[in-house]
Amino acid sequence: MTAHSQAAPPPPRRRSRRALAPLTVVSALVATAALTGCGQQRDDNVYTLLNSSTDESYHRWDGDTLARCSKQLGVTIEQQSVPAPQVMTKALRMASSKSLPDIVQFDGSEMPTFAETGGLMDLEKLGVSTEDIPQGILEYGSYDGTYYGAARTVNTLALFYNKDILDKAGLEVPTTWDEMRETAKKLTQGSQYGIALSAGGAEDGVYQFTPFMWSNGGDETDLDSPEVVQALDYWKALIGDGSLSKSTVNWTQADVNDQFMAGNAAMMINGPWQVETLNTKKDLNWGIAQIPVPQKGDDSVGPLGGGMLTIPDIGDTEREKMSARIITCMTSEQEEITYALNSWMIPANQKAADTWREKVPELSSLADQVATARSRTAKLGAGWSSVSLALQSAFQAALTGQDSEAVLKKAQQRLESGN
């Protein structure tokens, strides 16, 4: 597959997941900042956005967006970029020193942790519109019914496949679990595995497990249910067949992409952030489809991912109103389309997403997957981090030989006891 090309491909983007700071620490630091007020002397015409756009291309794309919005609004908008795992800790330090930026772009899984403390502003009250935002994305940016985080683009997972390998084998793209298992078996030969996915002991692995858990009717509030056990047993079956490498327990999503690009896997579960890297290998003829489901007719329910633009409570209403105007500019239809075409993500605004789909029809499966996708934190808010840790331990144990039902029962007990 060839799509939106770059004049000079930047270094491959390595997707990283973030470790959440303990809620008690977040609460204490944000509360201290709120009680003591703004504290920082700010330039009336200069606004700051903290994000994780440390990659050259992403930093440049964000810079271009901010330059256009600066011109439109008559202010200067500067970005401070730190590695993704450092956004939360950086925001906490700035809260403690009363020097919070005007806007913070958190990962969607982190936003509820900060929102739960009362440290974020209600975007709707500040004038940020939710019109044309699909319900799932609206919930992704909300905590306890309040809209705190505006997405420009979102992402999810999909099934990537090597067209040449499948065509040579005379196989169709699988749509159900049984089909994927049989297809993966047939495509496993020599050093080539049928499929690759991330089951590493970090959020990457949990992110990749959710579509199997959710599409099978499982839920993060009941980890030892038969539906979750079946999903984990399905992963075990792929390893048992020899179709999935045992090394999957050590792989990040970037590692999975490396295996696919090297020809060591005929299919993989991954996300659109890998497209830029995939397109650097010109002879790689790849396609994309929704993640297979347990039975025909089931919804393929994947996780929503992506950054959320939030406004910290800095105690200055006028600045917060301007920050809302900045977010409105950044999430306008044209800005979302431009950013999505650069980054291979999917616009959050439905009208923008429809235009994007017309421009890159080869990626329309991603838009279909987003339509049924779920927020990891919609049900549990900041409690998702505990579920994630419990799941990481569970499937690491199961995929290295332990019983799925036993490890998931232990995980559920761990959550219920608070340990």
Q: Are residues 385 and 337 in the same domain?
A: no
Residue 151 or residue 371, greater confidence:
151
Q: Are residues 126 and 216 in the same domain?
A: no
pTM for this prediction:
0.83
Q: Are residues 148 and 99 in the same domain?
A: yes
Q: Are residues 116 and 201 in the same domain?
A: no
Q: Are residues 212 and 164 in the same domain?
A: yes
- Whether the pLDDT of residue 68 is over 60: the answer is yes
Structure confidence at residue 34 (pLDDT): 46
Give the rounded distance of the alpha carbon of 38 from its chain centre: 31
> Which amino acid, 100?
L
Q: Are residues 338 and 389 in the same domain?
A: no
Residue 214 or residue 383, greater confidence:
214
Sign of torsion over alpha carbons 203, 363, 5, 267: positive
- Nearest Cα residue to 370 out of 195, 204, 138: 138
CATH at residue 245: 3.40.190.10
Q: Which phi-psi region, left, alpha or beta, contains residue 377 (left: φ > 0; alpha: ψ -120 to 50)?
A: alpha
Mean pLDDT of 137-162: 95
The answer as to whether 78 is a domain residue is yes
- Nearest Cα residue to 331 out of 319, 340, 343: 340
Q: How many CA atoms lie within 13 A of 98 on its CB side?
A: 13
The answer as to whether 12 is a domain residue is no
Tokens of residue 224, six digits:
């030892």
Q: Are residues 233 and 352 in the same domain?
A: no
For 234-264, what is each residue's pLDDT tens digit?
999 999 999 999 999 999 999 999 999 999 9
Neighbours of 98 (CB within 10 A): 16
Pick from 88-92, 173-177, 195-199, 268-272: least confident: 88-92
CA distance 15 to 2: 21
Q: How many CA atoms lie within 13 A of 120 on its CB side?
A: 32
Q: Mutual orientation of helices 317-330 and 56-73 as an angle, nearest 10°? A: 120
- Whether the pLDDT of residue 27 is over 70: the answer is no
Q: Which domain holds residue 88?
A: 23-155+304-371
Q: Are residues 315 and 291 in the same domain?
A: no
Q: Are residues 229 and 297 in the same domain?
A: yes
CA distance 109 to 115: 11
CA distance 77 to 409: 49
Neighbours of 202 (CB within 10 A): 18
The answer as to whether 1 is a domain residue is no
Structure confidence at residue 419 (pLDDT): 67
- Whether the pLDDT of residue 273 is over 70: the answer is yes
For 197-234, what is each residue's pLDDT tens digit?
999 878 899 999 999 999 999 999 999 999 999 999 99
Q: Are residues 245 and 139 in the same domain?
A: no
In the block, residue with structure tokens 């998931």:
408
CA distances from 315 to 123, 238, 246, 325 (A): 15, 54, 52, 17
Residues 6+ apart with CB under 8 A from 195: 180, 184, 187, 238, 243, 244, 265, 266, 267, 268, 269
- Whether the pLDDT of residue 32 is over 60: the answer is no
What single DSSP character describes residue 152?
A: S
Q: Which helix (H) or strand (E) element contains residue 307?
A: strand 307-310
The answer as to whether 297 is a domain residue is yes
**Number of domains forming the structure of the chain:** 2
- Whether the pLDDT of residue 338 is over 70: the answer is yes
- Whether the pLDDT of residue 353 is over 90: the answer is yes
- Whether the pLDDT of residue 324 is over 70: the answer is yes
Q: Are residues 145 and 172 in the same domain?
A: no
The answer as to whether 16 is a domain residue is no
Residues 6+ apart with CB under 8 A from 333: 347, 349, 351, 352, 355
Q: Which string of DSSP letters, residue by residue, matches 218-274?
A: --TT-TTSHHHHHHHHHHHHHHHHTSS-GGGGG--HHHHHHHHHTTSEEEEEE-GGG
Radius of gyration of the chain (CA): 21
Q: Are residues 324 and 402 in the same domain?
A: no
